[in-house]
């Protein structure tokens, strides 16, 4: 399965297990620190490669050590980085993740994250691909105005498309997103994003507001599992039990698991179950990619759960 992913590319500096969440003017201690491959798009890309898919990645980074680090991490994971641009006039972005077993908070320097443009994705890049995925819609300042058109181009060429919107740091939740969804086959927001985009506190109501007669909306609900609309009803899958080390990138690993199975025509309930397991298993280690599961590991986990 050949998949093209476009989005942000940056490292994550993960500060793990704060004793209390920091307040202005105060200092707190954490138990561990690690520099890992970050960004929603890249974590999803590595997750898909780990599951056995052929992934090409398009992004912009600086010509600097952080850009080197990200490109090399993708190469080691088996991701094609021929469409990753290096620019000497930009710094590679970075995210500082304050994380615990319960949740996380992120502080991001955008840098080159926002520099990828629609013209960097000409129609020719979709040739030979099966699916096009984009992430971090609200961070893609240069790409966002032309992203609807970039979704339309692969759909005309017979590809399917998907989008993980990500959190809006401005909390404006631009209504332009709803227009873009007309060219998106699968939309993968989490609970907070559903509430922010639609103004609905109730997730089911929010998903109904996002429906456009075409786009499949898959809601990621963290400890509550996941949900999707099926006909006039709903399919819900609960979260899988694991010993959580770090929740960074769990939603992106969920995306990888969902797309891996959905693109193969699996039943929606099975796609949700597989995705939920991928998300859960990714939280066993520090960073978004350290413990992402292979397909064999996911099925082994299912068998182990069934025995219990």
Domain boundaries, the chain: 2-21+28-299
b/e code 55-80 from CB counts within 10 Å (16+ = b): bbbbbbbbebebbebbbebbeebebb
Q: Would you say 225 and 237 are in contact if contact means Cβ atoms under 8 Å apart?
A: yes
Confidence of residue 306 (pLDDT cuts 50, 70, 90): confident
Confidence of residue 138 (pLDDT cuts 50, 70, 90): very high
Answer yes or no: is pLDDT of 247 > 90.
Answer: no
Residues 6+ apart with CB under 8 A from 152: 183
Is this model's pTM higher than 0.85 or not? yes
Answer yes or no: is pLDDT of 131 > 80.
Answer: yes
Answer yes or no: is pLDDT of 128 > 90.
Answer: yes
The two beta strands, 94-99 and 80-87, are unpaired
Q: State the pLDDT at residue 36.
A: 94
For residue range 147-191, list pLDDT tens digits in order: 999 999 999 999 999 999 999 999 999 888 999 999 999 999 999
For residue range 70-94, list pLDDT tens digits in order: 999 999 999 999 999 999 999 999 9
Q: How would CATH label the architecture of 2-21+28-299?
A: 3-Layer(aba) Sandwich (3.40)
At residue 23, φ and ψ (nearest 5 deg) are -115, 155
């Amino acid at each position: 399965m050949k998949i093209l992913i476009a989005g942000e590319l940056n490292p994550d500096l993960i500060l793990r297990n704060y004793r209390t969440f920091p307040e202005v003017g105060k200092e707190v201690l954490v138990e561990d620190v690690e520099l890992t491959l970050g960004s929603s798009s890249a974590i999803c890309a590595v997750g898909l490669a780990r599951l056995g898919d052929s992934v090409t990645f398009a992004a912009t980074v600086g010509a600097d050590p952080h850009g080197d680090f990200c490109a090399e991490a993708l190469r080691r994971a088996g991701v094609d980085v021929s469409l990753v641009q290096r620019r000497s006039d930009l710094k590679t972005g970075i995210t500082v993740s304050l994380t615990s077993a319960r949740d996380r908070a992120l502080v991001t320097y955008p840098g080159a994250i926002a520099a990828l443009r629609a013209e960097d994705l000409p129609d020719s890049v979709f040739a030979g691909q099966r699916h096009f995925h984009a992430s971090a819609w609200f961070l893609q300042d240069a790409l966002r105005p032309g992203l609807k058109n970039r979704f339309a181009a692969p759909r005309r060429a017979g590809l399917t498309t998907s989008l993980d919107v990500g959190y809006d740091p401005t909390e404006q939740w631009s209504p332009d997103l709803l227009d873009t969804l007309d060219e998106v086959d699968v939309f993968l927001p989490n609970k907070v994003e559903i509430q922010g985009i639609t103004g609905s506190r109730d997730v089911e109501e929010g998903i109904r507001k996002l429906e456009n007669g075409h786009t499949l909306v898959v809601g990621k609900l963290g400890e509550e599992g996941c949900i999707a609309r099926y006909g006039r009803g709903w399919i819900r899958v609960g979260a899988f039990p694991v010993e959580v080390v770090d929740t960074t990138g769990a939603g992106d690993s969920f995306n990888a698991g969902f797309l891996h199975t959905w693109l193969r025509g699996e039943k929606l309930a099975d796609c949700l179950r597989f995705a939920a397991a991928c998300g859960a298993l990714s939280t066993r280690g520090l960073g978004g990619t350290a413990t992402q599961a292979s397909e064999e590991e996911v099925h082994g986990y299912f068998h182990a759960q069934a025995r219990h």
